[in-house]
Structure 1
Amino acid sequence: MPAERKPVAKTVPQTVTISFAGFNRAWAAWIGDRLERRGHTVSYQRWDPPVEIPLEESFQDLLLAPGPILVVLSDWYFQLGPRGYEEWNRALRGVVASHAGRFAAVTVTTSALPAATAVFAAADLTTVGEAEAERRVLTRLGLPVEPLPDTEDTRRGPRYPADTPDVWGGVPRRNTRFTGRERLLDEAYHALLQAGRGAGVVTLHGMSGVGKTQLAAEYVYRFGAEYDVVWWVSADKRVTCRQRLAELAPALGLSTGAEYGERLRAARDALRRGDPYARWLLVLDGADDPEDIWDLVPTGPGHVLITSRNPEWSEHNSTLVEVRVYDRDESVAFVRRRAPRLTHDEANRLAIALEDLPLLLDQTAGWLNDSDMSVEEYIDLLADGIDQDVVRVSADFPLAFQTGWSILLNKLRETVPESVDLLRLCTFFAPGAIPVRLVRDLPPERLPEKLRGLVDDPVRWARAINKLRQYAVVRAAGVGEREVHDTLGDTGAAGAAGDTLYMHRMVHQIVHQDMPERDHREFIEVVRGALVAADPGRPTDTRLWPRYAEITPHLKWAEVLESTDPAMHTLVLNCLRYMYLSGEYQAGIKLGRRALAAWRRILGETHSRIWDLSYHYANVMRAVGDYAGTEAIERAAVEHLRAERGPKDLEHLRAAGGLAADLRGLGRYREAFDISEWTLASYRELLGDQDSRTLNAQNNLAISLRLLGRYEDSLELNRRTLEARRQLLRPRHSWTLFSELNYATDLRLLGRYSEAESLQSQSVRVHRIVLGRDNPQTLRAEHNLALCHHRSGERGRAAALFTQILESCERVLGEHDPLTMMFAASLSCFAREHGDVDRAVEMSDRVVHGYLGMLGEDHPYVAGTRANHALVLRNVGEREQAHALIEQALGDMTGAVGRDHPWTLGCAVNASALRNIVGDPEGAAELTGDTITRATESLGRTHPLTLSARIAHAADLRGLRETRRAEKVEREALDDLAATLGPQHTHTVTARSRNRPYWDFEPPII
């Protein structure tokens, strides 16, 4: 039951908070004015609760205000954000009903509202006049209702919202689906309010279709109660503007003759003098040519609101308010009002596809709402062009998008034809940020005649760009722009000079479709040449990556893949190599797949460029774990090149190195080692020890050695590679840093934790500077550092780094990337060891299933992560299941890599512990005894894994009551631990406390 309402004091002035949706601002202003005239203090709270905050909390925040809270109820109050009536009812019952004495309400709509709004007991203002409405507001607040004396307050306040201004003409109907734009409305309102007499002119400027007219109309309805005259003028042509202004004279009641010019002069003079009305608002809609009509803009005490594509109104004493596309949340809210059948996610995808342009959102969402087509199918349809058959023109946005742009392009063609040439040229770059300066960098003789004069003449170039910017066809790309692609190079400086322009995707599409075939042939060759000239030629140089990031988005639009020019092929290969090295894997896969199909068609299946492309394409595929797919590509290349050119051909050796990497990914480590060993020997024979290709092969052989468990051999080979790369390449070269990562990894795997941590810590700092924090190689370096911290007992530093890199990797590469699963495996082990069992269970299970889906049942990574999962199950009390799983993992790992591999020995250490738990101490002791023998032979007596087996064996012997043997084994192991790691190392301390050691499988990247 609602709490009993407490009467509000009738004699003491109150502080009243008015909560209202922006759509109902006029009502809030009128109510506030009525209260202030009676001596009350009013606070205005525009209601726009953030989606991520529960409604209950937003209502609780309202209670922080002093005094009563008056809510202006309308359907708009409940339409802000994707919330259902059930959530609203729950919040109203939970908060408002519990504090009914603080809340009051009035309703200004006849639309259906959530049922629980009954708790407000709202006063209805929809069908009454001003005096009765004021009485109902005061009564609902428990305030005195006696009329004020006539002399009490004679100032003019806001008009009663149900009344229209005395003079009202030409205003479009209100768009009940209007969304957002609160900041722009406030900015325009305050700019007009604060302007001096005669200077109250604001121009809403922006590209066609961005919603300038809709914004101006909403301004009129939201603030129109503050004016006595509101007059809307279509101002696209001077003659129309003059006629409409002249029609204002009789509406103002001016006594003039029938002559057209006389009426115009009388109307402008009346506005200037403010007689008979001083509070007037004139809207000039579509005033794209300031020079044509600026002299018609009246001065005086009123306000002028202009909509225009042209920012040059700033030169005519107008304040500019730029209208850009919707913010994404505004787009989603608008689409869901226009197409209620769409979900939030579907509306978001449509907004992304249309880049938040209001006109297109309205027309496409309107069509979609009446269709059963899926959003995905519709977006694919739009990719081929905006067609009249797949949009719906509404009364709110009456002009079709294509029609508006066709009119504008014709106008440009008539006035500054070179601007159309420049615009068409831009469409062979990707939409978004367009680096047209690349064209200006070309030698003039490489340009067609129509562009040569434009590029050579700075005045003509500036005039063409300025004309495009005047009509908001393009704008200078700058900071804060929502770009189609992310890295733009020096966009700030370039944009300021008009050399990097921003073009909306749909404008790009329409201009590109409306182009003569001759222009298409000429302009595409210009852009291709510009991209080739912009290629730095060194994709391995991290300092040049911003330049590659700038040019790679444009390859598709310049149809570079369809060219037979060798220079174009080199450009594609360099961009693909950059994508692999910088971690742009998905973009690289898409480019590689398209390029392979195009080049096979154009060049033939066995052209030499096909093998270059196959190698780089396989690299990006391998980076995302598609090892079976890359093996098929690389094996075909190896077999063809060996048959055609012989085994010692350099391209054959490169393909063989790629095949070895594929085999490593598939868990076929011995085959990979054999190929890597032969490849390295061949490179040494052909190129010598110091060639970069020889060092790459040496690096790859070291990886094969590590995967075979030969850590000492891998360490030695990586040491030699690191030293050579430091000499031949700069110390900060990405390959040098990669060798540091490999060398530090081997040090850690050999138990030399302090050395590994020291090297990796320093290398991580350089990685972040040179490659960036989100680069996959940087993330791998940070992961190895986290493992070093963990092995050294630095729990806090390890935890923070494990969490950070996993979050970064999921954001950059996705949940199913091999790196992400590798990091998740480490974090699940860390969580298990340090008490976060729930997190460990969830992550470990996800990792096992991820590897199973990617690599198959027989892969050693599946066996290893199952061994990890068995320990998690043991910690949650699932002992039998854990024992069965570890025995399965031990058998599978033995079959995959052999009995003497460190991974098998680690599984054995874990299996012995679980045998004890299920009552098989004899089997446990036998297993650890055998593990000690094999670990000593494979890794040495004092390797951490051997020491773990020795400590575990002592525990097993103690379980068999062989106390004397147990103490001897334990004492010797503890002495070796102290000598190897130090008496205070966490492993030594743990073993001394007789906490049984376990082994964690770390799935490496191949």
Structure 2
Amino acid sequence: MSGARKPVEPTEGGTARQTVTIHYAGFNRAWAAWVGDRLERRGVRVVHLRWESPAEVPLVDLLRDLRLAEGRILIIVSEWYFQLGPRTHEEWNEALREVVAPDPSRFAAVSVTTATVPSAAAVLAPVDLTNMGAEEAERRLLDRLDLSSAPLVPTASQERRGPRFPASMPDVWGAVPRRNTRFTGREPLFNEAYSTLQRADPGAGVVTFHGMSGVGKTQLAAEYAHRFGSEYDVVWWVNAEKRVTYRRQLAELAPKLGLQTGQEYGERLRAVRDALRRGDPYSRWLLVLDGADEPDQIWDLVPTGPGHVIITSRNPEWGEHNSRLLEVPVYARDESVAFIRRRAPRLSEPDADQLADALEDLPLLLDQTAGWLNDSDLSVREYIALLEGGIDSDVVKVSADFPLAFQTAWSILLNKLRETVPASVDLLRLCTFFAPGFIPVRLLKEMPADELPEQLAGLLNDPLLWNKAVNQLRTYSVVRLESHEASVDESVSGGESLYLHRMVHQIVHKDMPDSDRREFVDVVRSALAAADPRRPTDPDLWPGYAEIVPHLKYADVLKSTDRQVQRLVFNCLRYMYFSGEYRAGIKLGERALESWRALLGETHPRIWELIYHYTNLLRAVGDYARTEALSRTAVDYLREERGPHDLEHLRAAAGLAGDLRGLGRYEEALELSQWVLAAYRELLGDQDSRTLNAQNNLAVSLRLLGRYEETLEVERQTMEARRQLLRPRHPWALSSEIAYAVDLRLLGRYAEAESIQRKNVRENRIVMGRDNPQTLRAEHNLAVCRYRLGDRDRTRDHADEREEPGPLLSSVLERGERVLGETHPLTLIFATSQSCYAREHGDIDQARELSEAVVARYEVMLAAGHPFIAGARANQALILRNVGEREHSHALIEQALSEMTEAVGKDHPWTLGCALNASALRNLVGDVERAADLTKDTAARAIESLGRTHPLTLSARIAHAADLRALRDRRQAEKVEQEALSDFDATLGNRHPHTVSARARTRPHWDFEPQIT
């Protein structure tokens, strides 16, 4: 045809090579990528041109400009292509007739929609690619461009895996919100996010959409998932507002990936993170973390690997956690106008501009307001007058996030809802007593009808009224329906959730009559109480508690006097204690104690039960001074009011013993622990779980006093009884196994300890999850067992380098700091072990840094004279010795020895260990006689308290031989040394590192290890 440009151009070799310009709406980018890849494989040169349709430029002019593109123009036909602008079908028909019809050979098209398009689009002769497989779609594409006979041409693109066929879903697709067919604009953000992720190195593909409430961060992430989902094998959406919810929903990916795990979500979570990191079975994955407003809660759980992560958050601190921040602003005015006109076709462009200005271009508010304005007779001018005048005189800014007009706009919308479907307002108000975000409406619908107030009984039990209310809210974008098994009419079944934006949540909750508030909150409280799994110590039921906990605050459960609701609070506190959610539990406990003292009185029975759960959480983070005061108040009151053998009093007394242990008052704790155990045995017998708990606490007191043989026997009895009474994999039974293995190790029975601990670690990882505090304790003890056992004598059933002492200690410390915090008692134990290991394996800088931090933290957290401070100083002295600071080291170890002797007595293993180290420093500074006196006394005391063959005793004997040799008493030195070496061979074996070091006459030392209190 005359005037048409030939769709060919010369290549470097002189042969003709066809060029095709693909013209597409951003919404259809995946189709453009797939079409381009298919054409390039046939030797076609492809140019991608995204469709821009500024409303101020006539459509005819835009199409004329399109003719300037190279080669043949292939249009991806969809409703999105024709809606940009937005443009009417009439405008399109006129432009197509004027520009395309005279020159049809320049244009071709493929259709990827079944929606109605302008009738004049027929001039493009689009070939349909919907409802078919990739092979047929490719055949039709090539046929439309007369490339059916073109052979495959070897290109660089064929060496890589091409884009997935857009009509095929990823192999795994989970929880992604429905695609918003009214989505508008944001193309620069999409382009930047896409290019950032595509260019990122493995492990660094993380982008955060950051901005204030209501700007559409979630919608942007959802559109990204739909638009680019075909490029991934896995697309998984996670609600990341709370750590517990995030962990649970990420763990649900395990069966979708085909991972063989147990049912416990801790094990599933570990398997998922490992699979994503390795890219096996899928390397092309996209994970969306929605509503992650608290980076410090979940940053450590963000997967790394070859895939990509998108985060939505109001918090810019994600920029500090290996994420590229992309700020999501309010709409640009042209985006606002285009969106409003698509949402409300009856509004003119000037009307849309005025409305956007009045609502400050906030997408959420534009969506809701335009939706009902389209159905209303109210003009934009009248609506804006309402906004400016106010529905009432109390128009205030709800928060810094909200536009000034938001409350008034919501008052108008609520009036509209109230007039049309009153039940929708009841449902909306009911939802605000749950946390914003995902509302588990199934909890409401599972309640018995006779427990519901009349106003709500019809709504919750009449499916037609329920669906009518839900659909009304959805029509005006007040809620979003989240369902993965939606029926054709998208009704809400019992298992589905509604999503309520936090802005909507706050304003609706504020604007509610007191009568509704009282009635509705009781319904939600009852629903939450009814959902209580009732067994907070069972890890299998923790997902149920993880779902409930975020809603406690919004249901204001602490204001309820209902016993079932208060029992739910107790169970949630207990769940938080056992699952390691200490910080959240302490916050809930603080609020509960304040509220219930005012509500129930200072001495109500439930106050003492609350103090028990609250002090458990405080004790877990080492706040012993605070817990001791609370526990003593409870003990004194309950003993006076109920007598010493009351079960509540006994429980409080057991807690007080724990506080005394934490404060370093071990003899007092032992005395109290013995009395509590005897009382429980008298009241409940030997086989009650409370008796066994008291028996476990007695063992802890004995261990802290260095009475390891007694501890071992008590712990063995407890372990066996718990296995029989509960079950072998019950958390308490597994905890007893850890304690038993620790006792074996402290007695020098390293091989036995390692064997038991190795099995126990596997089971804790399965039952409790990899990052649970109990699992960390188990892994720590395994690492120390293997360190003490030595490589030469240790056999393993695997060769995983991560399970070696060094890497395992490092991993435990890293996770302890991340999960528990740097000052948590367990973290300080882990840091102490890592410091000692680093000192012996050449990383003296790390050893010193960790050791100084431990000393400083103990000095702040514990009272002067606490044995942990003395022990930490003893470890620090060894490091100072190794770096050549002899005098400083000598002074510090003498101070530690004096303080430890004062704290726990001369015969305690910790004191004997300090003495062993002090003798070495005395020898080093030339005080040989005092060194020999000390080692002689230390060896004698160690034989008396620990036995001749305990590793610490053997070390003291070897040290004494060295000091005798320094005094030139060679005959006695030889005698002492040979006897000790013979016992080393018999006890640890001739290849054990301690034995080898003793034979090489390397001066032995002792490492202080804080114990669980």
The alignment's TM-score, normalised by the length of structure 2, stands at 0.65
Counterpart pick for 1:550 among 511, 532, 547 = 547
- 2:850 aligned with 1:843, yes or no? yes
Partner of 1:940: 947
Q: CA deviation at 1:229?
A: 8.0
- Name the aligned partner's letter for residue 945 of structure 1: L
Aligned equivalents of 1:687, 1:703: Cα separation in 2: 21
Counterpart pick for 2:458 among 453, 458, 467 = 453
Q: CA deviation at 1:475?
A: 3.8
Residues 726-783 of structure 1: per-residue CA shift (max 9 Å, x gap): 1111111111111111111111111111111111111111111111111111111111
- 2:903 aligned with 1:896, yes or no? yes
Partner of 1:703: 700
Aligned equivalents of 1:1003, 1:494: Cα separation in 2: 58
Residues 889-915 of structure 1: per-residue CA shift (max 9 Å, x gap): 111111111111100000000111111
**Structure with the greater relative contact order (CA < 8 A, sep ≥ 6): 1 or 2?**
2
DSSP-derived class of the 2:603 partner: coil
- 2:893 aligned with 1:883, yes or no? no
**Deviates most, 412-421 or 269-278:** 269-278
Partner of 1:560: 557
Q: CA deviation at 1:220?
A: 11
DSSP-derived class of the 1:816 partner: coil
- Name the aligned partner's letter for residue 883 of structure 1: H
Partner of 1:437: 442
Partner of 1:387: 397
Aligned equivalents of 1:998, 1:224: Cα separation in 2: 88
Aligned equivalents of 2:439, 2:856: Cα separation in 1: 44
DSSP-derived class of the 1:428 partner: coil
DSSP-derived class of the 2:499 partner: strand
Closer, same or farther in 2 for the Cα pair 1:873/1:276, shift >3 Å? same
Equivalent residue runs for 1:853-892 within 5 Å: 853-892=860-899
Checking the alignment, whether the CA contact within 8 Å between 2:559 and 2:595 is kept in structure 1 is yes
Q: CA deviation at 1:1002?
A: 0.6
Closer, same or farther in 2 for the Cα pair 1:971/1:719, shift >3 Å? same
Counterpart pick for 1:597 among 581, 594, 597 = 594
Q: CA deviation at 1:353?
A: 12
Equivalent residue runs for 1:640-789 within 5 Å: 640-789=637-786
Aligned equivalents of 2:20, 2:476: Cα separation in 1: 40
Partner of 1:200: none
Q: CA deviation at 1:457?
A: 3.1
Gaps of 5+ in 1: 1-32, 42-151, 160-181, 197-214, 231-240, 253-264, 282-289, 304-308, 338-343, 367-383, 394-398, 480-492
* Equivalences, count: 742
Checking the alignment, whether the CA contact within 8 Å between 1:325 and 1:357 is kept in structure 2 is no
- Name the aligned partner's letter for residue 864 of structure 2: E
Checking the alignment, whether the CA contact within 8 Å between 2:211 and 2:329 is kept in structure 1 is no
Closer, same or farther in 2 for the Cα pair 1:360/1:618, shift >3 Å? farther
Aligned equivalents of 1:873, 1:466: Cα separation in 2: 72
DSSP-derived class of the 1:554 partner: helix
Residues 195-250 of structure 1: per-residue CA shift (max 9 Å, x gap): 99xxxxxxxxxxxxxxxxxx9989999x99985489xxxxxxxxxx999857975x
- Name the aligned partner's letter for residue 654 of structure 1: R
Aligned equivalents of 1:645, 1:744: Cα separation in 2: 39
Residues 507-538 of structure 1: per-residue CA shift (max 9 Å, x gap): 32233223333332222111111111011211
- Name the aligned partner's letter for residue 539 of structure 1: P
Residues 40-66 of structure 1: per-residue CA shift (max 9 Å, x gap): 89xxxxxxxxxxxxxxxxxxxxxxxxx
Partner of 1:637: 634
Partner of 1:804: 811
Closer, same or farther in 2 for the Cα pair 1:187/1:816, shift >3 Å? farther
Q: CA deviation at 1:192?
A: 11
Q: CA deviation at 1:965?
A: 0.9
Aligned equivalents of 1:446, 1:297: Cα separation in 2: 58
Q: CA deviation at 1:474?
A: 3.7
Q: CA deviation at 1:985?
A: 1.8
Residues 76-105 of structure 1: per-residue CA shift (max 9 Å, x gap): xxxxxxxxxxxxxxxxxxxxxxxxxxxxxx
Closer, same or farther in 2 for the Cα pair 1:767/1:849, shift >3 Å? same
Aligned equivalents of 1:536, 1:504: Cα separation in 2: 28
- 2:526 aligned with 1:529, yes or no? yes
Residues 631-663 of structure 1: per-residue CA shift (max 9 Å, x gap): 011011111111111111111111011001001
Checking the alignment, whether the CA contact within 8 Å between 2:395 and 2:407 is kept in structure 1 is no
Gaps of 5+ in 2: 40-50, 67-82, 127-175, 198-205, 216-293, 297-311, 320-324, 334-356, 358-393, 485-489, 793-800
Q: CA deviation at 1:506?
A: 2.5
Q: CA deviation at 1:388?
A: 6.8
Closer, same or farther in 2 for the Cα pair 1:362/1:664, shift >3 Å? farther
Aligned equivalents of 1:183, 1:907: Cα separation in 2: 71
Aligned equivalents of 2:607, 2:331: Cα separation in 1: 43
- Name the aligned partner's letter for residue 646 of structure 1: G
Closer, same or farther in 2 for the Cα pair 1:157/1:688, shift >3 Å? closer
Aligned equivalents of 1:386, 1:908: Cα separation in 2: 70
Closer, same or farther in 2 for the Cα pair 1:556/1:983, shift >3 Å? same
DSSP-derived class of the 2:438 partner: strand
Aligned equivalents of 2:395, 2:746: Cα separation in 1: 57
The alignment's TM-score, normalised by the length of structure 1, stands at 0.66
Aligned equivalents of 2:589, 2:398: Cα separation in 1: 35
- Name the aligned partner's letter for residue 455 of structure 1: L
Partner of 2:965: 958
Equivalent residue runs for 1:367-382 within 5 Å: none
Q: CA deviation at 1:331?
A: 3.6
Q: CA deviation at 1:813?
A: 1.1
Checking the alignment, whether the CA contact within 8 Å between 1:431 and 1:508 is kept in structure 2 is yes
Aligned equivalents of 1:506, 1:869: Cα separation in 2: 53
- 2:791 aligned with 1:794, yes or no? yes
Q: CA deviation at 1:715?
A: 0.8
- 2:837 aligned with 1:827, yes or no? no
DSSP-derived class of the 1:1000 partner: coil
Aligned equivalents of 1:461, 1:194: Cα separation in 2: 48
Checking the alignment, whether the CA contact within 8 Å between 1:246 and 1:267 is kept in structure 2 is no
Checking the alignment, whether the CA contact within 8 Å between 1:188 and 1:321 is kept in structure 2 is no
Closer, same or farther in 2 for the Cα pair 1:297/1:586, shift >3 Å? farther
- Name the aligned partner's letter for residue 934 of structure 1: R
Aligned equivalents of 1:275, 1:567: Cα separation in 2: 77
Closer, same or farther in 2 for the Cα pair 1:243/1:220, shift >3 Å? closer
DSSP-derived class of the 2:667 partner: helix
DSSP-derived class of the 2:923 partner: helix
Aligned equivalents of 1:310, 1:981: Cα separation in 2: 62
Closer, same or farther in 2 for the Cα pair 1:732/1:966, shift >3 Å? same
- Name the aligned partner's letter for residue 439 of structure 2: I
- 2:801 aligned with 1:816, yes or no? no
Closer, same or farther in 2 for the Cα pair 1:477/1:862, shift >3 Å? farther
Closer, same or farther in 2 for the Cα pair 1:218/1:856, shift >3 Å? farther
- Name the aligned partner's letter for residue 661 of structure 2: R
Aligned equivalents of 1:776, 1:991: Cα separation in 2: 36
Equivalent residue runs for 1:508-527 within 5 Å: 508-527=505-524
Partner of 1:423: 428
Aligned equivalents of 1:920, 1:788: Cα separation in 2: 35
| Percent of residue pairs identical | 57
Checking the alignment, whether the CA contact within 8 Å between 2:712 and 2:744 is kept in structure 1 is yes
- Name the aligned partner's letter for residue 879 of structure 2: V
Partner of 1:974: 981
Checking the alignment, whether the CA contact within 8 Å between 2:573 and 2:589 is kept in structure 1 is yes
- Name the aligned partner's letter for residue 977 of structure 1: F
- Name the aligned partner's letter for residue 583 of structure 1: G
Residues 567-617 of structure 1: per-residue CA shift (max 9 Å, x gap): 111110111011011100000000000000000000000101000000100
